[in-house]
Structure 1
Amino acid sequence: MKRLFLLTAAVMTAAVVLAQQALWGVPTMISPEVKADNTVTFRLDAPKASSVVVAGDFSPRGFELMTKDADGIWTYTTPASLAPELYSYTFYVDSLKVSDPNNVYKLRDVSTVSDIFIIGGQLADLYKVNDVPHGTVSKVWYPCSRTGNDRRMTVYTPAGYEKGDRRYPVLYLLHGMGGDENAWTELGRAAQILDNLIARGEAEPMIVVMTNGNVDMQAAPGETSAGLVAPTIQLPHTMDGTFEEAFPEVVEFVDRNYRTLPSKSARAIAGLSMGGYHSMHISKQYPDMFDYVGLFSAAIFPDKSKTSPVYADLEAKLKRQFDNAPALYWIAIGDKDFLYEANTEFRKVLDANGYPYTYYESPDGHIWKNWRIYLAKFVPQLFKRH
């Protein structure tokens, strides 16, 4: 009975502590520790574990075994300096996935949550919050008659937007399957990239609109009246033409509510994977709407079961689009991307018709590392003739 009483008291105490503000949750150790030479040490206190693995994109093979000391602390230090990049990782304790309790910086990608850290330098300096003028990131709801509900977008306005009357060009930046309107600002570091490029004078100040490309979702999971639903990629109306048909409403809303330059020469559209698919089909469906198009690791050809008129007459629509001479048609993909062959086939179509485009190929596969790089390279090329 005494033992039961003590256990009950302990549980009640823990519940009270959890219900209060977390003032005493100080990390017990530094993990990850980024050292001056850009090697990184990971640590985890797990004295009863028989094995601990740290898995992440910092490792060429994807995971590394950690070593336990006499105090039950597991450690792993990278044998060499890491290249500049934003990295993600997680622990596996006796095969159970565990977040790093000493790292509060985490990101969700669909239903996977990972810890993150940044090694600065080169392009990775664009991913950091630097001492430069900062734009504003807003979550904005807009009505959509095509879907019959209100939907949410994320909008970046450049530093100084609120204080003046200047009009700006607009980049429409679209996420991939399983993503949402939060993906590019959280996983893609879009606001930091824009802030830093604009501050350096390497990019034109611009508005960036990041929509939710999932027709069956009003906004990101857990941020609608649907409640705390589990994120999934298995959603209705995915890549069936509905999003493309509704997209002019997004452009009309933005032009009504922001100080835009409402012309083709001042609009760009780009996206990754599914967002690249949407960008390609939207830009050819509405050839007078966008002068700049970016396809990042894009899905290209629709499933044969998709019968939307948006996907009909591909070659005729491409001809009309390129007859209007877009200022930039930019295709980028990793050499190990599962969509590499589809992009090769699409480029053959463009080549056969003499349609001009710029091609950028990087190492690696279908990963955020590449998409951040593509955004950082694409943005400086925009709005040079608006």
Structure 2
Amino acid sequence: MAIIKVEYFSEVLGMNRKVNVIYPEPSKVEDYQVTEIPVLYLLHGMTEDENTWLSRSGIDRLVRHTNVAVVMPAADLSFYVNTNYGMAYFDAISNELPKVIHNFFPNFSTKREKNFIAGLSMGGYGAYRIGLGTDHFSHVASLSGALSFDGLEAGFEQNIAYWGGIFTDLKSFKGSDNEIVTLAQRKTENRPKLYSWCGEQDYLFQANEGVAATLKKLGYDLTFETSKGTHDWYYWSIMIDRVLEWLPINYIREERKINFELN
């Protein structure tokens, strides 16, 4: 296994970008030159960057016995959307980045069934926004994702300068493709399999619970799990095990003592 730091110029964003890539052990890939290595795009949360999954979760240790590559991009505070202030992060990460990665690593699969995306908090929203807004990914996972702003309107209004730069305003957000439920309603073909977890003491729990119920009514293949837990890396570093176990890859979940049970 190797951890490779890639810097490239994004034509979409007009600036240099950084991404970390975990390359699987050649012994875990039947043929070192195989062109079908599965890929997991792993998205960070607010205040974080391309290094956070490596430094906080031990993802490199967790995947060392698998055949999956992991791509961890930086998205600043963009919420992984084409922002109101003119920066097209959605286009850069959902469309440009996979092409950049394939140019650097031509043996990474471009097949939908071998491409997955997951994230936490802001990145959980980003994973659903990109996974439902494109046809690139067969499996999409969220940990404590900001999947809805219902019940959180006060926080939106208190920081309108930031949120206005991202989504314009709540009125414009509602019914747009940036609203996960609306986007899910509009997607009728190539629906990905979905996974979602949120801690019951997390301030985003009700939002996750409500979105999960709606997605199931819409007929999505969704695995929604809960447990005790807050909005914290202690839980995310454990639950990424569960995401890896859920994905269609060669993965053996580590046996680690935890003080909570999944519901």
The normalised TM-score by structure 2 is: 0.76
> How far off its partner does 1:380 sit?
2.3
* Structure 1 residue matching 2:194: 3-state secondary structure: strand
1:359 aligns with 2:224: yes
1:257 to 96, 104, 107: 104
Aligned to 1:191: 60
Aligned to 2:133: 285
Instruction: Structure 2 unaligned segments of length 5 or more: list them.
Output: 83-87, 150-155, 157-162, 251-263
> How far off its partner does 1:321 sit?
3.9
1:373 & 1:329 partners in 2: Cα distance? Answer: 18
2:209 to 341, 344, 350: 344
C-alpha contact (below 8 Å) 1:334/1:340 kept by paired residues = yes
Residues 239 and 160 of structure 1: CA distance in aligned 2, closer, same or farther (over 3 Å): closer
* Structure 2 residue matching 1:324: 3-state secondary structure: coil
1:345 & 1:143 partners in 2: Cα distance? Answer: 39
Residues 322 and 362 of structure 1: CA distance in aligned 2, closer, same or farther (over 3 Å): farther
The normalised TM-score by structure 1 is: 0.53
Aligned to 1:6: none
> How far off its partner does 1:374 sit?
1.5
Aligned to 2:71: 209
2:216 & 2:242 partners in 1: Cα distance? Answer: 23
C-alpha contact (below 8 Å) 2:148/2:208 kept by paired residues = no
**Counting helix residues as a fraction of each chain, which structure ranks higher?**
2
> How far off its partner does 1:384 sit?
5.4
**Counting strand residues as a fraction of each chain, which structure ranks higher?**
1
* Matching residue's letter, 2:117: I
C-alpha contact (below 8 Å) 1:276/1:295 kept by paired residues = yes
2:79 & 2:181 partners in 1: Cα distance? Answer: 23
> How far off its partner does 1:362 sit?
2.1
Residues 256 and 318 of structure 1: CA distance in aligned 2, closer, same or farther (over 3 Å): same
Alignment of 1:171-250 (within 5 A): 171-195=40-64, 198=65, 204-214=66-76, 237-238=78-79, 240-241=81-82, 242-247=88-93, 248-250=95-97
- Bigger radius of gyration: 1
Aligned to 1:142: 8
* Matching residue's letter, 1:346: V
1:154 & 1:312 partners in 2: Cα distance? Answer: 26
- Post-superposition Cα deviations, 1:83-141, rounded to whole Å, max 9, x if no partner, equal xxxxxxxxxxxxxxxxxxxxxxxxxxxxxxxxxxxxxxxxxxxxxxxxxxxx1111111
> How far off its partner does 1:188 sit?
1.0
Aligned to 2:145: 298
Aligned to 1:376: 241
C-alpha contact (below 8 Å) 2:177/2:183 kept by paired residues = no
Residues 239 and 172 of structure 1: CA distance in aligned 2, closer, same or farther (over 3 Å): closer
Residues 176 and 324 of structure 1: CA distance in aligned 2, closer, same or farther (over 3 Å): same
Alignment of 1:305-320 (within 5 A): 305=164, 306-307=167-168, 311=177, 314-315=180-181, 317-319=183-185
* Matching residue's letter, 2:243: F
- Post-superposition Cα deviations, 1:124-179, rounded to whole Å, max 9, x if no partner, equal xxxxxxxxxxx111111122112101100010001117982023010000111011
Aligned to 2:115: 267
Residues 313 and 183 of structure 1: CA distance in aligned 2, closer, same or farther (over 3 Å): closer
1:320 & 1:290 partners in 2: Cα distance? Answer: 17
Aligned to 1:132: none
2:211 & 2:190 partners in 1: Cα distance? Answer: 19
Residues 158 and 361 of structure 1: CA distance in aligned 2, closer, same or farther (over 3 Å): same
2:53 & 2:243 partners in 1: Cα distance? Answer: 14
> How far off its partner does 1:315 sit?
4.8
> How far off its partner does 1:213 sit?
1.7
2:245 & 2:229 partners in 1: Cα distance? Answer: 23
Residues 165 and 138 of structure 1: CA distance in aligned 2, closer, same or farther (over 3 Å): same
C-alpha contact (below 8 Å) 2:119/2:127 kept by paired residues = yes
Give the number of the structure with larger relative contact order, counting CA–CA contacts within 8 Å between residues 6 or more apart: 2
Instruction: Structure 1 unaligned segments of length 5 or more: list them.
Output: 1-134, 199-203, 215-234
Aligned to 1:223: none
